[in-house]
Amino acid sequence: MTPLALALTLSLVAAPKRDAPAFEVEAEARVGVGGLSGRGSHALPAALSVVEAEVEPSAHWGMLDVNGDLQLGHEETWATPLRETAAKGSLELELRPWRWLRVAAEGGVAGVARPGWPDLYQPVDGDPALGLLPTDRGSHLDVWLQGRALWLPAPHHFVRARYRFTRTDSFDDPAFDAVGRPNHLTPFDNDQHAAELSWRALIGPLHPSVSLGASRQDWFFVFSRDAGTGVTHVGQGGDPANPLLAENALELEPEVELEAWPEVLSLTLAWRARLVDDPWQGYLSRFESRLRFEAELHAGPKKHQLGLDARLEVVERLYGDRAYAAGDGHPPLDWGERRESRAASVSLRARWPERAPLRLYAELSGASFITNFPDYVAGVYPASQAYDVARDWRHGRALVGVELALER
């Protein structure tokens, strides 16, 4: 069982009364060095250094819990412009009126800064061979509000209902022209509403769960596309522009966690099916399948315990028959008859000694993405643009370092 699930179970079952406020603070900091072979479509190897910190203060007073979370991290890619800084802060108020019910409200903000990344859609003087102009448009700020309720209908059974609203504000590139070229360098600002209902049980070493979710996402600058052609009809003159893009989604996720060896080995297997509807003409309608496997191993005596975490995730997307289609100016798909993509990621993390405040850690990870959607080739597709974008990629990353954990 994960630490979060264990803490949740104990607090629901025991729910001790507190007459005086109690305060707790947990903090972690880590530094590491290593390297990576690139990020996404950017195949730019780089030396890497990482600095991260997280502080989680909490206060408990009777039926009320107040939980905070503050995170800050920076990844420096030396001599390669793929550096990234991320920050996140949230505050949660949780009320436990009865042992079998708790309700909570949370608000937070998170930001990612990616300054000066090379822009695949802005070649120098229109020639990718001369290089790419820098951009900050991969940076974004997310603000969210969330409410949830957790009900304990029977011992070791948990039902949760959750609603979350998220607004994403991405950085606008100075060259973005919302009137003249609205489809070029378009910001991905959007609102998302998501609701979820889930059930989880603790049956000896077996912890099954299932969740049902629905969401709606509305973009502020991205336009819907016509079936097959992907035309938006935006710009000056011609047919009226299509409406702004919106997507509706339904998802189902069964999961099972197995405490194969209590306090030593736990295994988690989950599968998520997600059906996304593009209500305009179905250009982006698709079925998504996400398979996730996780393993946690704690080996050796407690004083010198080694902790290992492994994770594997595979995501497949299959688009509908109204998605991209070959035609005038549109080359055929690389394979198959319908647009599709496959992504995979794998990671392994080790900590030693795991229970010590100061410990060593090492991380290895890899990711890949392949699709049959045609690459962009300068002067070929799109014929009027000088883009040179290879859509398939695979990258690796390695880190070693030290981390410090404090609790009081």
Q: What is the pLDDT of residue 10?
A: 35
pLDDT at 19: 57
* pLDDT, tens digit, 9 for 90 and up, residues 160-203: 999 999 999 999 999 999 988 999 999 999 999 999 999 999 99
What's phi and psi for 111, nearest 5 deg? -135, 145
Instruction: Say whether pLDDT at 343 is over 60.
Output: yes
Contact between residue 258 and residue 5 where contact means Cβ atoms under 8 Å apart = no
Q: Under a CB-based contact definition with an 8 Å cutoff, are residues 208 and 256 in contact?
A: yes
Q: Which of 13-17, 74-78, 404-408 has the lowest mean pLDDT?
A: 13-17
Per the DSSP assignment, residues forming a β-bridge with 400 are 33, 362
Mean pLDDT of 276-299: 97
7, pLDDT greater than 60: no
Looking at residue 236, what is its pLDDT? 64
Q: What contacts 10, CB < 8 A, 6 or more positions away?
A: none
pLDDT at 239 over 90: no
One DSSP character per residue, 53-108 reads: EEEEEEEEETTEEEEEEEEEEEEEEETSS--EEEEEEEEEEEEEEETTEEEEEEEE
Q: Check pLDDT > 60 for residue 211.
A: yes
CB-based burial, 270-280: b 16+ in 10 Å, e otherwise:
bebebebebeb
Domain-wise residue ranges, the chain:
285-408
Whose tokens are 């997310």? That residue is: 142
Contacts 24+ apart (CB under 8 A), 14-20: 15/96, 15/99, 17/62, 18/60, 18/61, 18/62, 19/62, 20/61
Q: How far is CA 288 from CA 255, 281, 315, 380, in A?
A: 16, 19, 7, 30
| Residue 240: other Cβ atoms inside 10 A | 7
Residue 129 main-chain phi, psi, to 5 deg: -65, -20
Band (383; pLDDT cuts 50, 70, 90): confident
pTM: 0.90
Q: What is the mean pLDDT of residues 30-46?
A: 95
Please, what is the average pLDDT of the chain?
93
Instruction: Note the pLDDT of residue 79.
Output: 87
> Which has the minimum average pLDDT: 22-36, 248-262, 377-391?
377-391
